[in-house]
Amino acid sequence: DTAVSQTPKYLVTQMGNDKSIKCEQNLGHDTMYWYKQDSKKFLKIMFSYNNKELIINETVPNRFSPKSPDKAHLNLHINSLELGDSAVYFCASSQGGGGVQPQHFGDGTRLSIL
């Protein structure tokens, strides 16, 4: 009965490859997010979707493309992976967007680029 689940938990791949991370929430929330946490634990918003509509798109390389097939799912596809993409990627959800409500986080996907 995990509230926000991400797969895979670990992702080790070569530079230049394309990979996807999936996220699902069963909380009935209407807003989902992708965050990137670097090696110094700094957490930065990448994208936010409200009812399948993109509402926040921070300065992220266009190699990163989010997709929300429905309001319970938000996937992240990354093309042409680079060394600097190594990080932990967190999915989160909330009822209502824009930081006005608590956010619920998944346990992260640890991406390592060789």
Partner 1 sequence: SQQGEEDPQALSIQEGENATMNCSYKTSINNLQWYRQNSGRGLVHLILIRSNEREKHSGRLRVTLDTSKKSSSLLITASRAADTASYFCATSVQAGTALIFGKGTTLSVSS
Binding site for partner 1 (CB under 8 A): 4, 40-45, 48, 55-56, 58, 90, 92, 97-108
The rounded distance, in Å, linking the Cα atoms of 85 and 87 is 6
Cβ proximity to partner 1: between 14 and 42 the closer is 42
Cβ proximity to partner 1: between 16 and 99 the closer is 99
H or E element in which residue 45 lies:
strand 43-50
Supply the DSSP symbol for 72: T
CA 111 from chain centre, in angstroms, equals 12
For the bound state, the minimum distance from the C-beta of residue 96 to partner 1, rounded and expressed in Å, comes to 8
For the bound state, the minimum distance from the C-beta of residue 101 to partner 1, rounded and expressed in Å, comes to 8
The rounded distance, in Å, linking the Cα atoms of 28 and 23 is 14
Cβ proximity to partner 1: between 56 and 72 the closer is 56
